[in-house]
Chains A and B, each alone.
Chain A
Amino acid sequence: VHLLRGGAGEPVLFLHAAGGAGAWLPFHALLAEAGFEVIAPDHPGFGKSDDFPEAEAIDDLVYHYLDVIDALGLSRPHVVGASFGGWIAAELAVHSPHRIGSLTLLSAAGLRLPDHPVADIFLLPPAKLAAALFHDPPPPAPAPPPGDPLDLDAIIAAYREATSLARFSWVPYFYDPKLERRLRRITAPTLVAAPSDDRLIPVEHAQRYAALIGGATYAEVADCGHAMYFERPAEFGSLVASFLASHPLAQSGVSR
């Protein structure tokens, strides 16, 4: 398992979205500066972490992260997950509510809302996917001059991560049919946040999470797409940092 770590304070396990493995972003730095120890592992098969070829469903990642939490010597960290990582975080909190100090779900996958389907991301060509991720898409990268050799390493790395993602999310498509009815098990203080203009996972998913997790706080970040902390790092950083700060680990959760 490859992980990035920075800051000092209460531990925050950050579970990245399908994109963004191996990157220490302004968002991470903001949380670290706010007084937290941010621990950001790459999921199996993403970034610099090894493959996990025997894994076939999301529960394999739950056990994986329970092992990671144990290996890091954490008893009850804050857990923050975005998108695909948010799905893992929700499953983790359902499986082992007593191991979660607080839970933050940033436009998490994991639910099925027939009237608000998740976009067909595996069918989107890279340029369209990039455009769909942002409320205000950055200008497309200039096309390489004709005859330029392909950047094979980058293509293969992206294909590997897409394959790792598909392993858990091709079918059922980005959801676990059992998750919704188990969300009542979550005991940790929970923040559910979404960008206002999410074209991949409609905001109704976040609203559903907020409705089903007891006592959850719901927030939206304006003028932002599913890229969330890539597009609006300051807003997502301060939203999450203030939630964490107001739920110190010593006071949270149930343990005896």
Chain B
Amino acid sequence: VKFSFFHLMPYPYLPDDFDEKYDSSALTYPNANFDPKLGSALYARYLDELEYADQLGFDGIAVNEHHQSAYGLMPSPNLMAAALTRRTSNARIMVLGNAIGIRGNPLRVAEEIAMLDLMSDGRVDSGFVRGIGWEYFGHSINPVKSGAGSTETMKFCAERKYTYMSVYAPTSIVRRWFDGYRQAAADLGYVPDPERIAFSVPVYVADTDEQAHREARPVLEWLYRKGLKQTAQMVTPPGYMSPGSLRGVLASGMRSLGGFSYEDLLANGQAVVGSTAAVADRLAELYEKLGGFGQLIGLFAIGPSTHQQVMRSAELFASNVMPALRPLGVAAERTTA
């Protein structure tokens, strides 16, 4: 397994009456609530954290794209990747990814990735996301033309041998996605390299289990209940899903992400929290439950977690969890495949 340190660059300074007063931390959330001085300091801090992850020995440092949202302050992940090319030396710089659906002319994205490739001396991995529903409102891009459901995406990735990555869903659903991707590859007559399957999950490590849970609970609740708070209309604008896919999601009884309790999130594998031993055990268990994966994309900077917390969590993970889990993956998969 390879390990990446993933950053969303959240804006954690939401007002105390956020829950009652606002439908979402995105799109409809007022710009007036944003303090540019704090924003400036956050960018500096967050880049420091990504650079530190490179020094700690993470295989990858990952950035992504979000718009008009306190959930993530990176409308352009390529700008952040460019900053990282100059002050990191070993880690892959992973753009996970450009929201190609809302970027207008894709040639501009290709040009920027090509620049990053040269600036980083070949360390850039270029990923793509579809863009969240609210971003189709914000950028006046017609979601009807945004294309695909998950089945089509699996097939598209399998045909090109692209890496397929999950986000946020409970383990049972992630397993279904990964199996779908493996099946799409099998239909094409090959077994995907384990590294082509990436599991992303929020990870919080502290010196003891007790400390980890005490500190992780509020930041994970912030992530799922505030950072990701949005209305049904923002999640699925018209045409974002096919009627058949929407029926499937509704019939499966899938809840909105804000409906999960902290305990649910841990039990569902939507977050991994604890001491180094507990986190290593839990990730090994999730590895089995998911039928294996070759990349772990860890979200270490979660919501309002402090700089010290993020640095400590990443240090503990790099020194004690990565060595334990690294042997999982490639060899095991090749024998069972």
A residues at B contact (CB < 8 Å): 56, 120, 122-125, 150, 152, 155-156, 159-160, 162-163, 165-167, 170-171, 173
Contact A124–B233 (Cβ < 8 Å): yes
Q: List 17 interface pairs A-B (beta carbons < 8 Å), by A numbering.
A: A56-B145, A122-B137, A122-B238, A123-B137, A123-B233, A123-B234, A124-B233, A152-B250, A152-B251, A159-B236, A159-B246, A162-B238, A163-B239, A163-B243, A165-B238, A170-B136, A173-B140
Which residue from A125, A150, A156, A159 sits with its C-beta under 8 Å from B238?
A159
- Interface-central residue, A120, A152, A171, by most chain B CB under 10 Å: A171
- Chain A residues with Cβ below 8 Å from B239 are 163, 166-167
- Return the contact of A166 from the options B28, B144, B232, B247 (Cβ within 8 A): B144
Give B259-298 as 1s and 0s: 1 = Cβ < 8 Å from A's Cβ atoms. 0000000000000000000000000000000000000000
Q: Per-position contact with A for B106-142: 1 when CB-CB < 8 Å, else 0?
A: 0000000000000000000000000000001100111
B243 touches A159 (CB 8 A): yes
* Given A125-B232, A156-B247, 9 new contacts (CB under 8 A): A122-B233, A123-B28, A124-B233, A150-B250, A163-B239, A166-B144, A166-B237, A170-B136, A171-B140
Interface size on B, residues (CB 8 A): 23
Q: Are A122 and B237 interface neighbours, CB within 8 A?
A: yes
Q: Residue of A at shortest CB range from B140?
A: A171
Distance, CA A171 to CA B234, complexed state (A): 16
Determine the distance from Cα of A170 to Cα of B236 in the docked complex, in whole angstroms: 14
Report the bound CA distance from A164 to B9 in whole Å.
36
B143 at the interface (CB under 8 A from A): yes
Q: Is residue B231 contacting chain A, with contact meaning CB distance below 8 A?
A: yes
* Contact between B243 and A125, CB atoms less than 8 A apart: no
**What residues of chain A lie closer than 8 Å to B144, measured between beta carbons?**
163, 166-167, 170
Chain B residues in 8 Å Cβ range of A155: 246, 250
- Which residue of B has the minimal Cβ distance to A121? B233
Contact in complex: A170, B140 (CB < 8 Å) = yes
A150-B250, A165-B238 known; A123+B231 contact, CB < 8 A: yes
Contacts of A152 in B (CB 8 A): 247, 250-251
Q: How far is the CA of A124 from the CA of B284 in the complex (A)?
A: 44
A166 near B143: Cβ-Cβ < 8 Å = yes
| Distance between Cα atoms of A125 and B231 in the complex (Å) | 8
Complex alpha-carbon distance, A156 and B137, angstroms:
21
